């Protein structure tokens, strides 16, 4: 797991803990785990899903402003992803 993947997985795990407490378990969007326009988060999430670390739990639609509607992807962590995250040594400041 590279640095970006570790960063996104840490955010995914934090989001899932918060979502479980709030009763919201529909999956995390890239913007829920730190993504913004032009950031690496969407590509990193797709790559992590292709490795089996995340599952794509569905697509939604959001307003795209002047460009119409856009598809939004939502993800959840898998046991394999959580194991990959915890199997590697953590650096200072990570959960």
pLDDT digits (tens, 9 = 90+) for 39-83: 899 899 999 999 999 998 877 665 555 665 666 789 999 999 999
| Unique residue bearing structure tokens 């200072």 | 92
DSSP reduced 3-state for 76: strand
Q: Which pTM was predicted?
A: 0.77
Mean pLDDT (the chain, rounded): 84
Q: What are the tokens at 67?
A: 């460009």
Query: What pLDDT score was predicted for residue 37?
Result: 80
Q: What percent of the chain has pLDDT over 70?
A: 78
* Between 95 and 58, the higher pLDDT residue: 58
Identify whether the C-beta of residue 35 lies closer than 8 Å to the C-beta of residue 46.
no
Q: What pLDDT, on a 0 to 100 scale, did the predictor assign at position 39?
A: 87
Contact residues for 79 (Cβ-Cβ < 8 A; gap 6+): none
Measured CA to CA, the distance from residue 3 to residue 9 in angstroms comes to: 10
Domains, the chain, in order of start with CATH, read 3-87 (1.10.10)
C-alpha count within 13 angstroms, C-beta hemisphere, residue 44: 23
The sign of the CA dihedral 66, 15, 13, 76 is negative
Cβ contact 61:68 at 8 Å: no
- The pLDDT, as a whole number, for residue 14 is 94
């Amino acid at each position: 797991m590279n640095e970006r993947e570790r960063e996104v997985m840490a955010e995914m795990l934090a989001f899932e803990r918060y979502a479980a407490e709030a009763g919201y378990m529909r999956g995390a969007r890239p913007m829920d785990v730190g993504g913004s326009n032009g950031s690496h988060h969407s590509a990193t999430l797709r790559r992590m899903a292709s490795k089996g670390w995340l599952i794509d739990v569905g697509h939604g639609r959001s307003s795209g402003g002047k460009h119409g509607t856009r598809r939004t992807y939502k993800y959840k962590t898998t046991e394999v992803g959580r194991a990959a995250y915890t199997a590697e040594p953590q650096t200072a400041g990570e959960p």
